[in-house]
Amino acid sequence: MDIDKTTFNDLNVFHQEEEFSIFHKVNFTRTRGGKDWLAKFFGEPFNDIKRITDTQEILKSILYKAAEWPVVINNGTVMVIEKFYESLIDTIPDTANTFNAYSYRVLHAPDFSLLRYSVGHFADFVRGCRDLVNLFDEDSTPKFMLTYVNRIADIIKSPLLVKLASIDQGAKLTPLQTIYFGHFLRYRFKNHAMELINIYGRFDAWYSMAIATKHFNLCFPTFSEDEQPFVEVNSLYHILLPSPVSYSVKLAPDNNFLFLTGANMAGKSTFIKAVGAGVYLAHLGMGVPAIKMRLTLFNGILSNINVVDNIIKGESYFFNEVQRIKNTIIKITDGKKWLVLIDELFKGTNVQDAMKCSSTVIKGLIKIKNSLFILSTHLYEIGEELKSYPNISFRFFETNVKDDQLDFSYQLKEGISNDRLGYLILRKEKVVELLEKL
């Protein structure tokens, strides 16, 4: 799936502040490598239904056996192993006998301590890999997942590693055991150790996606092979909200353009981001924040939500809005399926100009039948001239005012809102009062 940097930012997929990041929200990884793999998965949503459904099956398999997931491997274990290969230590004897073992312990005491400590963590790591193999080494394991399970099994079947894993967890290694296992791990196992860490990182990322699906009570969406795009979702909500309000949405070729209106703070932007985030998560093979979701595979998502000016290049806000729309039009006329999300189009110009520009853009976009559009605007006036187009549906978020108090229901309703609450909010926040005192 094609998603550019702007859309990643608009949908809050990654964000420096964790509370605003979908990635951090679902990150249950236990290792740094797992987090790296999870970031890789999040940066490359699938463009193939089979890969999506394969991932769904992997996550379901992990969920089924989540209670038995090996917890002996943690980030500390992996870091010790990586540090072991990076550290400069004196040569470990290639013959493990009593004399060599105790000589190394006495003459190279600091290195011996590091060696014994590292071998102990290697033992934990191999045990964890063994438990992972035992957990999924069966016919019901998805084939793609089983490929990695078999590779782990092949690497750890070495008699020496089997012997290492058989040592009681937490048992203090003797000097002889330390030299015996340490020499092998240091000089003959590095490449395999790095491969195992990499494979385990992938499993850790899958585990995180599975646990997030369970933790947030997400549902696995169903994908259709239809050539025409559609999204049908019941009780969709935004995963970042602590107390979200859900929506039910349906976009299809016969109503592929949703014209969204409502007052400031009524919920338009959140709704648009919720739809985008839901479709995005679906293309990762993850569960989505909804009760039920059906959709086609999309070739990409494009958003126009948080446009900014560029003072370095001398580009105005409006100019960048125009450029974003221009680039969007160029992309979505390729005959592929796109989800296009536009929030408050042409905020960077005056109302009359914005109305004319918005109307022109919308009347052009509705000619494109292979994509779905959600566009929000305060310019409810242009809605009247758009009612003659059968593929546009009109929705709004209602705001009730009582005694100058705003009540946002966040419920998506059919029709067009003509709420104008800017001045009321200005007065409610005592800005008008402050100005009158100047």
* pLDDT tens-digit series, residues 48-68: 999 999 999 999 999 999 999
* pLDDT tens-digit series, residues 86-116: 999 999 999 999 999 999 999 999 999 999 9
The predicted model gives 354-363 an average pLDDT of 89
Q: Which residue segment(s) compose the domain that 252 sits in?
A: 222-436
**131 token code pair:** 């438990």
Q: Which of 40-54, 255-269, 400-414, 418-432 has the lowest mean pLDDT?
A: 418-432
| Residue labelled with tokens 């959600």 | 374
The predicted model gives 266-276 an average pLDDT of 91
Q: What is the pLDDT of residue 169?
A: 87
* pLDDT tens-digit series, residues 395-412: 988 777 676 666 677 788
The DSSP line for 269-330 is HHHHHHHHHHHHHHTTT--BSSSEEEEE--SEEEEESS---BTTTTB-HHHHHHHHHHHHHH
The answer to whether position 16 is within a domain reads no
The predicted model gives 167-184 an average pLDDT of 93
**Banded pLDDT at 429 (limits 50, 70, 90):** low
Would the CA dihedral through 163, 166, 169, 171 be positive or negative?
negative
Whole-angstrom CA distances from 434 to 276, 420, 425, 427, 429 are: 39, 22, 14, 9, 10
The answer on 349 and 232 residing in a single domain is yes
The answer on 114 and 99 residing in a single domain is yes
Chain mean pLDDT for the chain: 90
> Of 215, 242, 273, which closes a domain?
215
Among 83, 81, 78, smallest CA distance to 37 is for: 78
The answer on 125 and 266 residing in a single domain is no
Count of alpha carbons within 13 angstroms of residue 185, beta-carbon side: 29
The answer to whether position 4 is within a domain reads no
Would the CA dihedral through 352, 357, 359, 360 be positive or negative?
positive
Chain Cα centroid distance, residue 195: 25
In 3-state terms, what secondary structure has residue 204?
helix
**Residue 395 · residue 417 · CB < 8 Å:** no
**Banded pLDDT at 367 (limits 50, 70, 90):** very high
The answer on 235 and 181 residing in a single domain is no
The answer to whether position 160 is within a domain reads yes
The answer to whether position 21 is within a domain reads no
Say if residue 70's pLDDT is above 60: yes
* pLDDT tens-digit series, residues 303-337: 998 765 454 344 577 888 888 899 999 999 998 99
The answer on 236 and 96 residing in a single domain is no
